[in-house]
Amino acid sequence: MVLLPTDITEIPGLCPKGLHCYDGNYGIADFNARKAMVDQSDRSVFKVADQLKSEGYDCSVLVMGETPTFPCHAQYENVYLSPGTSIVCDFGYSELYRDEPFIPAGILLTRVISQAAPGYFTIDLGYKGIAADPPGQRGKLLNVPYAESVEQNEEHWIWKIKAGYEEKRPTIGSVLYVMPTHICPTTALYEEVLLAGKGEVIGKWKVTARNRRLTI
């Protein structure tokens, strides 16, 4: 028997229709291993859904998965897929999940603001401007692949040129581009997202999830 909280099923105006099954814990690069874990979870979900239906509850809607696992759920009929990073893919997913054909699209513009020591340069992209999670590399510096991250602060990010490439250190004022490792919290740091095409800004999206408040 599946017990649903009475404060959900009996609140006027609320009408439960099914289950939302998020499996963001399956961060497995290998597709076959990832699919095996998803299949095991889905069998449990379908079992719960059938039991709910047998007890008279409406469970006609099943929202399944997230970006890395949605291809695994796509084999089933009558489920809604919910990839969250399919439109603006980031560096993290594009590197880890090579089986998915999404093209990374989220790019941050930054500038070189100092050259404090030989071989070093600093850009104006601190952790107030890019997601600070997950641990490790927070973004890929696209223009200067021969540089490595040294330290990041609130407003600044220090980089060091690798040995043998010292003459290619970007000058102060140079415009650089960084692809964030995690696009979701990065997006929430900005009021709007500029859309670019053929080297020009062609539109913008307002980030509605940035400003939110409790209404109850």
Distances (CA, A) of 164 to 119, 142, 211: 10, 18, 46
Give a yes or no: residue 142 inside a domain. yes
Place of tokens 């400003």: 211
**Do 118 and 80 reside in the same domain of the chain?**
no
pLDDT digits (tens, 9 = 90+) for 166-183: 999 999 999 999 999 999
pLDDT digits (tens, 9 = 90+) for 91-131: 888 888 988 888 888 999 999 999 999 999 999 999 999 99
**Do 22 and 60 reside in the same domain of the chain?**
yes
Give a yes or no: residue 97 inside a domain. no
**Do 69 and 121 reside in the same domain of the chain?**
no
* Mean pLDDT (whole number) for 11-29: 87
Q: What is the CATH number of the domain that holds 146?
A: 2.40.37.20
Domain that holds residue 159: 108-206
